[in-house]
């Protein structure tokens, strides 16, 4: 174990923007790691709520931490900056309002080295701010009682069984820099950038490992991007999967319909955001409603794509396709009820 503990410096990249309420809890969870060989790079995206000052306080308190202040250009630019400003043999991303299990680094590093993999993915728990010690103890006991399940996947299996089945998050993943250090986040996209970064890693990766260990705590934050009311940038949710189709289908033509079915789901999720707006606000966004509907109508014509949707989405999509105003009104009433 002593030899293992000296292997592999891990760079932890934390992009932050106005997370003053949560950042200390995030950093405390990292500094309690049972694996000691790590560095923390906080990329402050020009915060305005006191986060910048808090970052500097933490940098003075702990030698693991270095802070980089930059102009506000979004999370993708911040993460890319973090990749270039760190030098660990491995790197991972943690969002500034989240936290991690005290054994997360040790567990992922042990598995990625034993399996000679390029990336290791652990599970996560949605977190509302409960005591981290209690959550960590529960997960540790679960692993002791039932053991740690580890699955391996080559590139093709990873794409078909994981990336296109919900494993689209860039956090809760340990990356081997030697093979994946050239991958980058697409700048200018604010939703779906995680998935496109993982698509970019496919140029370099050969093997992934997936663990059932829930080592990451994802805070359910009302101010988070996925919880906000509709804004034009939310259309990126559709755009990112259109880009994924362009990139992936030359190598995986058998996955085209699967990706297109995800595009329908993305359009319907975006329509749901539009439906949540008040009537006057929604009418002001008519062009985006039309775009969502056009995307749905185009893909709905493909029988194989329709079959891949579950029954609920088939019903909702059909209603939105034929009666968009009625669908949005009914959805608005249901959400507000």
* pLDDT tens digits, one per residue of 108-141: 999 999 999 999 999 999 999 889 999 999 999 9
* 281 and 332 co-located in one domain: yes
pLDDT higher than threshold 70 for residue 227: no
* 212 and 261 co-located in one domain: no
Whole-angstrom Cα distance, residue 326 to residue 330?
6
Whole-angstrom Cα distance, residue 318 to residue 132?
43
- Residue 224 in any domain: the answer is no
* 109 and 163 co-located in one domain: yes
User: pTM, whole model, 2 decimals?
Assistant: 0.93
What pLDDT does residue 3 have? 45
Residues in the chain: 337
- Residue 329 in any domain: the answer is yes
- Residue 111 in any domain: the answer is yes
Tell me which residue range forms the domain holding 129.
Answer: 2-219
What pLDDT does residue 132 have? 92
* 244 and 198 co-located in one domain: no
Say which residue the tokens 């707006």 belong to: 277
* 86 and 169 co-located in one domain: yes
Average per-residue pLDDT in the chain? 93
* 38 and 134 co-located in one domain: yes
Among candidate residues 183, 200, 219, the one where a domain is terminated = 219
* pLDDT tens digits, one per residue of 285-294: 999 999 999 9
| ∠ Cα 328 331 337 (to 5°) | 140
Instruction: For 82-172, list the strands marked E by DSSP.
Output: 90-93, 99-100, 119-127, 150-154
- With beta carbons less than 8 A apart as the criterion, state whether 127 and 100 touch: no
Whole-angstrom Cα distance, residue 82 to residue 17?
14
* 185 and 261 co-located in one domain: no
What pLDDT does residue 322 have? 94
* pLDDT tens digits, one per residue of 235-247: 999 999 999 999 9
Among candidate residues 157, 191, 219, the one where a domain is terminated = 219
- With beta carbons less than 8 A apart as the criterion, state whether 185 and 193 touch: yes
* 234 and 312 co-located in one domain: yes
- With beta carbons less than 8 A apart as the criterion, state whether 289 and 271 touch: yes
* 184 and 310 co-located in one domain: no
pLDDT higher than threshold 90 for residue 269: yes
Structural domain tally of the chain?
2
Section 30-53 average pLDDT: 96
- With beta carbons less than 8 A apart as the criterion, state whether 199 and 244 touch: yes
- Residue 323 in any domain: the answer is yes
Whole-angstrom Cα distance, residue 284 to residue 302?
31
What pLDDT does residue 2 have? 43
CATH value at residue 44: 3.90.550.10
Residue 4 pLDDT class (50, 70, 90 cuts): very low
* 211 and 246 co-located in one domain: no
* 153 and 239 co-located in one domain: no
Q: Which residues of 174-209 are buried (b: 16+ CB within 10 A; e: fewer)?
A: bbbbebbbebbbbeebbbbbbbbbbbbbbebbebbb
* pLDDT tens digits, one per residue of 270-282: 999 999 998 888 8
- What is the CB-side half-sphere exposure of residue 160 using CA atoms within 13 A? 10
Of the candidate ranges 12-16, 70-74, 156-160, 260-264, the one whose mean pLDDT is the lowest:
70-74
Among candidate residues 186, 219, 252, the one where a domain is terminated = 219
* 298 and 205 co-located in one domain: no
Strand, coil or helix: what is 72? coil
- Residue 36 in any domain: the answer is yes
What pLDDT does residue 224 have? 52
**What percent of the chain is predicted at pLDDT more than 70?**
96
Residue 5 pLDDT class (50, 70, 90 cuts): very low
Section 296-313 average pLDDT: 95
Strand, coil or helix: what is 180? helix
pLDDT higher than threshold 70 for residue 222: no
- Residue 299 in any domain: the answer is yes
268: nearest Cα among 243, 298, 241, 238: 238
């Amino acid at each position: 174990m002593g030899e293992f503990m000296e292997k592999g410096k891990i760079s932890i990249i934390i992009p932050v923007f106005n997370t003053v309420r949560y950042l200390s809890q995030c950093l405390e969870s990292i500094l309690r790691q049972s694996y000691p060989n790590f560095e923390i790079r906080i990329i402050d995206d020009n915060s305005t709520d006191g986060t910048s000052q808090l970052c500097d306080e933490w940098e003075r308190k702990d030698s693991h931490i270095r802070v980089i202040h930059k102009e506000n250009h979004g999370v993708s630019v911040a993460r890319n900056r973090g990749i270039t400003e760190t030098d660990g043999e491995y790197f991972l991303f943690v969002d500034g309002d989240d936290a991690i299990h005290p054994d997360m680094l040790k567990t992922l590093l042990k598995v990625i080295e034993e399996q000679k993999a390029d990336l290791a993915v652990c599970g996560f728990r949605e977190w509302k701010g409960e005591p981290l010690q209690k959550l960590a103890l529960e997960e540790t006991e679960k692993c002791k009682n039932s053991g740690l399940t580890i699955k391996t996947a080559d590139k093709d299996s990873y794409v078909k069984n994981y990336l296109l089945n919900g494993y689209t998050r860039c956090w809760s993943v340990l990356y081997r820099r030697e093979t994946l250090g050239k991958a980058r986040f697409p700048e200018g996209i604010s939703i779906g950038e995680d998935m496109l970064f993982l698509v970019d890693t496919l140029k370099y990766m050969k093997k992934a490992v997936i663990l059932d260990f829930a080592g990451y705590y994802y805070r359910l934050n009302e101010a988070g991007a996925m919880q906000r009311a509709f804004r034009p940038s939310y259309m990126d949710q559709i755009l990112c999967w259109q880009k994924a189709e362009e990139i992936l289908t030359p190598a995986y033509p058998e996955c085209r319909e699967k990706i297109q079915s995800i595009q329908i789901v993305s359009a319907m999720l975006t329509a749901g955001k539009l439906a949540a707006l008040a009537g006057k606000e929604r009418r002001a966004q008519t062009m985006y409603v039309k775009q969502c509907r056009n995307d749905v109508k185009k893909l709905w014509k493909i029988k194989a794509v329709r079959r891949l949707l579950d029954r609920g989405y088939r019903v909702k999509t059909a209603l939105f396709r034929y009666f968009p105003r009625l669908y949005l009104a009914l959805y608005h009433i249901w959400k507000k009820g």
